[in-house]
A and B are shown apart, each in its own frame.
Chain A
Amino acid sequence: QKEVEQNSGPLSVPEGAIASLNCTYSDRGSQSFFWYRQYSGKSPELIMSIYSNGDKEDGRFTAQLNKASQYVSLLIRDSQPSDSATYLCALEGFSGGYNKLIFGAGTRLAVHP
């Protein structure tokens, strides 16, 4: 089982709709969770951090964390074509004796007009 699982997509949504991106993880000890956005040919850009169970909102973005069920999700309201990108889920994990960020493979989101 991979440490961080994401559906590779593409997730296709119409402009104005809500895009829902999901991520599950295996390490119950993880305490910090992050969402990165990566446009094609660009570097990952941090868009959300979440540390506590529940929802965290920032503009059109809402991160949701459920540690009991080991999943974290990202909702994008009023999706725009400019949101089309790959979204990487990352979490703090203890691997090989070190505290690192463990990244998922990413979900590709396509928002069509």
Chain B
Amino acid sequence: DAGVIQSPRHEVTEMGQEVTLRCKPISGHDYLFWYRQTMMRGLELLIYFNNNVPIDDSGMPEDRFSAKMPNASFSTLKIQPSEPRDSAVYFCASSLVEGREQYFGPGTRLTVT
């Protein structure tokens, strides 16, 4: 079975540009999570969805960040406008049951110059 799929794997953009990260969860998983990882802050949960509905977005740093899940097999995380401090690795993960095993995608390394 295919795991969690993310695209792009690397993104380099200039400050002020819009960035869109994409994720396809494991088929049948009802929960989808977006994380950000930096050396300074570690792994941070940004937002998670259950059955395509956002459940907790308290980790979204500010209004420049938005996430959608239009269907069970696709989610996006958008940053507009991007800033250098947004540079990080963004992971998408999915799980079958809330609070149980989560499986991570390969991540998107974002660099904002």
Contacts and interface: CB of A to CB of B under 8 A. Distances in A.
Contacts of B101: 34, 46, 49
B10 to A, nearest CB: 11
A99 B91 contact: no
Interface in B87-106: 91, 98-106
B56 A98 contact: yes
B45 A100 contact: yes
B34 interface: no
Contacts of A11: none
Interface in A80-105: 88, 90, 92, 96-101, 103, 105
A99 B42 contact: no
Contact of A92 (B91, B99, B103, B105): B99
Given A43-B91, A43-B107, A44-B104, A103 B99 contact: no
A103 B106 CA distance: 18
Interface string B45-68: 100100000011010000000000
Interface in B5-23: none
A96 B58 contact: yes
What's the interface size class on B, roughly? 10 to 19
Given A43-B105, A44-B91, A46-B102, A100 B48 contact: yes
What's the interface size class on A, roughly? 20 to 34
Contact of A45 (B43, B45, B56, B104): B104
The 9 A-B residue pairs with the shortest CB-CB distance in the complex, in nearest-first order? A92-B99, A43-B104, A99-B99, A98-B56, A105-B42, A103-B43, A43-B107, A44-B104, A99-B98
B106 A42 contact: yes
Contacts of A105: 42
B25 to A, nearest CB: 14
A105 B55 CA distance: 24
A106 B37 CA distance: 12
Contacts of B42: 103, 105-106
